[in-house]
Amino acid sequence: MIPPVLPTYNRADLAFVSGRGSWLVDDAGRRFLDLGSGIAVNVLGHAHPALTEALTAQAGALWHTSNLYRIPAQEELAERLVEATFADTCFFTNSGTEACELAVKMARKRFSENDPERTRIVAFTGSFHGRSSAGIAAAGSEKMTKGFGPLLPGFTHVPFGDHEALKAAMGPDVAAVILEPVQGEGGIVPVPDVCLKGLRDLCDAHGTLVIFDEVQCGMGRTGKLFAHEWAGVAPDIMMVAKGIGGGFPLGAVLATEGAAQGMTAGTHGSTYGGNPLACAVGNAVMREVATEDFLAEVRRKGALLRQGLEGLVASHPDVFELVRGSGLMLGLKCKVPAADVVKAGYGAELLTVPAADNTVRLLPALNIEDADIREALSRLDRAAATLAPAAA
């Protein structure tokens, strides 16, 4: 029987019923080592005691009141995020897609009264900013936009990494440039630090806002709390989601006071965004992740995993081409179809995530054990061995 679920996903025939740490158990009792983390969401793995305790305690006290009233846990989380980042203010959403919608609105609203011609948003090929109207317009790829026109106007796309094209695209009508410091869906492609610095300087010269989409690469994923910190630059607006809720739906837009000055009462809203349940979990995530000791461990574990992956590339030159990424956001660019590598992983009871540019994403829990990293490499080695004859 076909389930009555809209068929927008080509789901694997796997159904998980429980999980702990970096492991998931399916309905047949098999244990899978999870290197996908719900697509970079479960930053503390499955059933982390601090998150379970926070959610359970809040669920027994109060679920939802709406943003018509103050929400103490929301205010606490906002203070944590502002203290830890460039931002002066934040607005809570339920997802990265909603964060993109607000980021675009915020950038355009910033100039709506004093410079109303500034509405254009410059974005990059290979990007992913969610599946809303603004998100697909920002990405611009035919795969994302075909059949959904007319698209939201006012977006210009430049080739990823083409600095001259970016300079040519700038003008007095550009409100903002939107960029992922590490492209996730695009294949784990980091933007070099020098390019982020150059982007910041270029936007400053044109009076243009910088929007960083850190939905996937943020919340400790690269070994800094947010990936742009490696370059020593800051955006004006930042989109956050996925890891901030540790598995509970939560997102946010962080901004400077200047970038957010147009967002006055009535200009935006969310019924569920930042409700007590979500923010209780978000605060618990921040308490665990936003410490230098934790982030240092992410960097160490990322180096351990990367070293092992480089070894697999050398051992399976007909299957893998190269490793790229940062921290525990790593990609294996493949010579065989990446989907085949993911499927072979299922046979080895290992979960990975496909991406563009024929890349397999490795996005484990940030607190993954060293022993689990070694086991993951062993299982990936076995999976690759089953593909080598086909590659040859």
Sequence spans of domains, the chain: 16-34+292-391, 50-289
Per-residue pLDDT tens digits for 138-158? 998 998 999 999 999 999 999
Average pLDDT over residues 56-75: 97
Q: Is 160 one of the annotated active-site residues of the chain?
A: no
The model's pLDDT over 166-194, given as tens digits with 9 standing for 90+, comes to: 999 999 999 999 999 999 999 999 999 99
Average pLDDT over residues 107-130: 96
- Tell me the average pLDDT across 61-65: 97
Mean pLDDT, rounded, for 70-77: 98
Q: 50-289, what's its fold? A: Aspartate Aminotransferase; domain 2 (3.40.640)
Which pLDDT score is estimated for 147?
94
In the predicted model, is pLDDT for residue 392 greater than 60? Answer: no
Q: Check residue 390 and give its pLDDT.
A: 47
The predicted pLDDT at position 35 comes to: 98
Q: Which of 242, 301, 320, 333 is catalytic?
A: 242
Class of 16-34+292-391 per CATH? alpha beta
Q: Which of 213, 236, 340, 372 is catalytic?
A: 213
Per the annotation, the verdict on 335 as an active-site residue is no
Q: What are phi and psi of 14, to 5 degrees?
A: -130, 135
| Percent of the chain surpassing pLDDT 90 | 96
Active site residue 242: yes
What is the residue-averaged pLDDT of the chain? 96
Query: What is the percent of the chain with per-residue pLDDT over 70, rounded to a whole number?
Result: 98
- What is the model's pLDDT at position 2? 77
